[in-house]
Amino acid sequence: MSEIAEFRRRVDKAIGSQFMGSEIGRLYGMTKHGQRFAIVTSTVLWYAVRVVVDMDEYTAAVVGRRAFWTAADADGFVFDTQHNLERMTGIVTPDSPIPPLVL
């Protein structure tokens, strides 16, 4: 299995333990440090965005979640979070502040 396919499997496992509506979007990226991340958007009555990062070669973890009433607000958050994560030079952990992420 390729490295990317393996990361996608770990993301699926990490969000599989979350209570969430229908997934409507998923964006993958990498920090400057080389750490993979995924930003997953779902919806029920509102929109939820989860940030998942690779913790090691075996696990990925949801490091944050934020809810929005509109798709436009969720999309803006996804864009800002992707921008911030791609520019991070350190390792992202569940305790990392990822502006504007609210845990």
In a domain, 49, yes or no: yes
pTM assigned to the model: 0.86
What total of structural domains would you count in the chain?
Answer: 1
d(CA 38, CA 53) in angstroms, rounded, equals 6
pLDDT exceeds 60 at position 100: no
In a domain, 96, yes or no: no
In a domain, 82, yes or no: yes
In a domain, 103, yes or no: no
In a domain, 51, yes or no: yes
d(CA 103, CA 96) in angstroms, rounded, equals 10
In a domain, 73, yes or no: yes
pLDDT of residue 97: 59
Asked whether the beta carbons of 26 and 36 are under 8 A apart, the reply is no
pLDDT of residue 75: 94
What is the domain range of residue 46? 3-87
* Cα separation of the two ends of the chain: 32
Interval 40-96: pLDDT, tens = 999 999 999 999 988 877 888 888 889 999 999 999 999 998 988 888 777 776 666
